[in-house]
Structure 1
Amino acid sequence: MSSTTLSRPARSRTPHRTAAALVSLVVAAGLVAAAAPAAHAAASTTCTGTATVGYSPGLTLTPQTVTLNESDSVPSCVSTDPTITGVVTGPYSYPLANASCNNVQVDPGSVLVIHWNNGRSSTVGGLTYVTTTTLGISQTIGTGTVSAGEFTGAAGILTWLFPLVNPLSCLTPGGLTGQSGTIVAEVVG
């Protein structure tokens, strides 16, 4: 399987917690699919993997500017396009102002380009994010529309899921330096 990337155009970043939830993604996908026109066959691609972030300097309870380094691996896809089997993302690096263990939010931007392993891409624009916390899990769901490339006109849904930060990690020398979670990239049209 060849490597591909999910890229984020360079731009100023604003805080939002990176996270994802498969349950919320399924609900959101169901709502999008219910609203899709029935006149043509629907495109569908769901890819899952891991998201790993590092913080430099480490997060503490005191707000500070940190550099976030993110690397995602999304090697497993199920798609109506049988040539799509995976997508690998990152790495990304950008500053976060006023970040602390109580405020670790990352806004990946309003436009993301998904590079599929088959050499094609999908530009998802107009992304808006909703972050919620349930049962010790912080999730961010970004929804937008594929504006160019494969699946143009379909809905794009990106979801990140991370466990809540353990406050004791923030009290250690050097603070919290990294986290891992789940990422899901989905196109429904």
Structure 2
Amino acid sequence: MTARVLTPRRTLAAAAGALLALAAPAAGASAQPQVLEATCVGTQEVGYSPGIVLLTERQTTVTGSTTYDCLSADVESGTSGFSVSDSRSCTSVTPSGAAETIRWDDGSESVLTMSSAVVSVGGTTVVTKNGTVTDGRFEGALALATITGPTVSGLLDCLTPGGMTHTSEAVVLEITSIP
């Protein structure tokens, strides 16, 4: 058996997975049996141009990309991306948009339409997204995602004149269907 080294990214992903496991019953409790279609962990890279600062909101272009590694009978990995322009500060890092298109390793796609809840504690922001797959692979399935980051060290950039220009966040995604 090969031992895995827990890097900060893997540790953050494991913590996000634990939060997801705790949130799943409350977010989607149902009397019907559910089939887990895919569990994915990954990293979301987000860029801000110009960088965002601590308190003053300013117009910025936000671009992001997410890579997923999945445990599923159907897919092994996926990617998604976004780009929006809106007003942001380090204290108002609200998730962009309600839809995400994931391109899976087999060439198929899933469109997820989700609502978000944001909690920030001690320099770490946790975004919980809950919704459904509205088109493509897994259509009709429930989707639950937890995005965790940035840490306090990333937030220190908010105090500089150029602001925070990049974050790297752990993502856990579960897609479940109701047969």
Q: Aligned Cα RMSD in Å? A: 2.4
- Identity %, equivalent residues: 34
The residue correspondences of 1:86-165 to structure 2 (distance < 5 A) are 86-90=77-81, 92-97=82-87, 99-107=88-96, 109-125=97-113, 127-164=114-151
What is the TM-score of this pair, normalised by structure 1?
0.73
Q: Could you list the per-position Cα deviations for residues 69-93 of structure 1 after superposition, in whole angstroms to 9, with x for gaps in the alignment?
A: 212222x1001xx231001222x22
Q: Which residue of 2 aligns with 1:68?
A: 62
Match of 1:78 among 64, 71, 76: 71
Residues 96 and 106, structure 1, Cα contact 8 Å, conserved in 2: no
SS in structure 2 opposite 1:37? Answer: coil
Q: Which residue of 2 aligns with 1:24?
A: 19
Residues 55 and 178, structure 1, Cα contact 8 Å, conserved in 2: yes
What is the TM-score of this pair, normalised by structure 2?
0.77
Residues 123 and 147, structure 1, Cα contact 8 Å, conserved in 2: yes
**Equivalent AA in structure 2 for residue 63 of structure 1:** E
SS in structure 2 opposite 1:179? Answer: strand
The runs of 5 or more residues in structure 1 that have no matched partner are 1-19
Q: Could you list the per-position Cα deviations for residues 68-127 of structure 1 after superposition, in whole angstroms to 9, with x for gaps in the alignment?
A: 1212222x1001xx231001222x221121x112222222x22222222122222223x1
More helix by share: 2
Alpha-carbon distance in 1 for matches of 2:65, 2:102: 14
The residue correspondences of 1:33-72 to structure 2 (distance < 5 A) are 35=30, 37-38=32-33, 42-61=35-54, 62-72=56-66
Match of 1:176 among 150, 160, 164: 164
**Equivalent AA in structure 2 for residue 86 of structure 1:** S
Could you say if the C-alpha distance between residues 136 and 176 of structure 1 is closer, same or farther in structure 2, counting changes exceeding 3 Å?
closer
The runs of 5 or more residues in structure 2 that have no matched partner are 1-14
Deviation at 1:139, TM superposition (A): 0.8
| Count of residue pairs the alignment pairs up | 161
Could you say if the C-alpha distance between residues 32 and 178 of structure 1 is closer, same or farther in structure 2, counting changes exceeding 3 Å?
closer
Deviation at 1:32, TM superposition (A): 6.1
Residues 43 and 151, structure 1, Cα contact 8 Å, conserved in 2: no
